[in-house]
Amino acid sequence: MRAIEGGYSNFDSPDNPAAVYQRGQTVRMKYTRNNHGPGGFIRLTLVAPEKMMDKNAHAKNAFYYTCWGANPQAAAANEMEADQFGFSFVGSDGEQHSHPKGYYVMDVKIPSVVPDGKYVLGWVWYGGGGGSAEGNVQQEPTPYGYFGDYWSCSYVEISGGSALESRHTPVFNNDMSGYSDVGCMSANDAPGVCSYEPCRVDSEYQAPRPFKDGNVPEDLTPEQFGGVSPAGRDATPPAETVTPMDASASENMTLTPTPPAESMAPMPTPAAESMAPMPTPATESVTPMGTAEAEYMAPMATGEVTVDRDGTSGEGEMGSSLDEMMVVGKRACRCLVAGERCWRKLAGLTGGRCVQNYAAEMQPEACGEACCLYCAEGRKGSRWLCAKEEVGAVCRI
């Protein structure tokens, strides 16, 4: 990092906000990615300046969620090295990952329930995985957790725009729906779950906690932002529908301090690039598994195994219950996909069916049986994992 005399930022008080937004305005926000590939959630909040350090206030006023790593864009020459917004302290992201590398973007609508005033725009990335960014193209996230929570914020002002409304329903925009309609690949579903790193837990496609199991968070109201709801408005307007970002809208972007419709969410430089890279799973399509009645085929190296519906197999007990076997099987599939990079904790969680640092060609025989049983059951959430090339080569699905 290089420090310039004058401090971290010129935007050091609510009276000197980094940007001025209008209610109902759609803002394109850019966030630098270092070398980190897709994985985890981003959450945006607006709170009063006096509550900027209150995590509960941020959780209550969260208005937008999306997936980290959606919509990668290439940076223009010198775009990330140069000061764009009047900062007196410029980070090193551009020096480490300059042109033709880049950043991620998202289009965010400012809620119309926020009264005119000064606020803190809160930004947090949580549940991030251990994969590396592979160029400026969309890529499938890896199922490995690694990072803790990364927080940032900026003073902003809301002034004018659409009429103040009584209610606003928070939005979850699944920008990675091309890989799963369940949600984002993430190691956890809320900030604070994994506040340290390395946080080596399994990632999975999921929705943010307020949207789990088909739930929708409570509507936001002007009172939460220090205002008063307008009289005579419908108390239960329809929920907002998010339209996926059109790739063409991301072309020819510029970073400028003047237009309020574009802002880069400031963030600390994440973990160093020296992190051991994780393998990028293959994206070939395999016919997805059907229902629990589908035929179970054991790994090719071990021959067929007949699975009884009571959760035991002809080769002996694999777990005390079918549910427990499915947990083990899911982890075995992930170890199978990882191959020789199946790390110790994940291998240990398979009850010895997978072994750390096995040669890739040895993993199918080591943990293929448990994985194939998991895929044969066709449990919810298994489709994307069981469609992996490494799994399909072992289990005749």
Low-confidence winner among 33-42, 68-77, 214-223, 360-369 (lowest mean pLDDT): 360-369
Which residues are bridge partners to 243 per DSSP? none
| 89-129 tens-digit pLDDT | 555 555 555 555 777 888 999 999 999 999 999 999 999 98
Q: Considering the entire predicted model, what is its pTM?
A: 0.59
Torsion of CA 73, 74, 78, 79, to 10 degrees: -10
Cis bond upstream, residue 277 (ω within 30):
no
Nearest Cα to Cα of residue 47 among 124, 102, 106? 124
**Angle CA 385–246–134, to nearest 5:** 50
Contact predicate 34/120, CB 8 Å: no
Domain count, the chain: 2
- Following DSSP, what letter does each residue of 85-101 receive, concatenated? S--SEE-SHHHHS-TT-
Mean per-residue pLDDT of the chain = 72
Strand bridging mode 150-161 / 19-23: parallel
The whole-number pLDDT of residue 138 equals: 74
Would residue 274 count as lying in a domain? no
Task: List the domain range (segments joined by +) for residue 317.
Answer: 281-397
What single-letter amino acid sits at 233?
R
Report d(CA 196, CA 146) in Å as an integer: 9
| 254-296 tens-digit pLDDT | 333 333 333 444 444 444 333 334 344 443 333 333 333 333 3
| 19-68 tens-digit pLDDT | 999 999 999 988 877 767 788 999 999 999 999 999 999 999 999 999 98
Domain limit, last residue, from 232, 264, 296? 264
Q: Clarify whether residues 21 and 121 are in a common domain.
A: yes
Q: Clarify whether residues 200 and 346 are in a common domain.
A: no
Report d(CA 332, CA 353) in Å as an integer: 7
Q: Clarify whether residues 132 and 48 are in a common domain.
A: yes
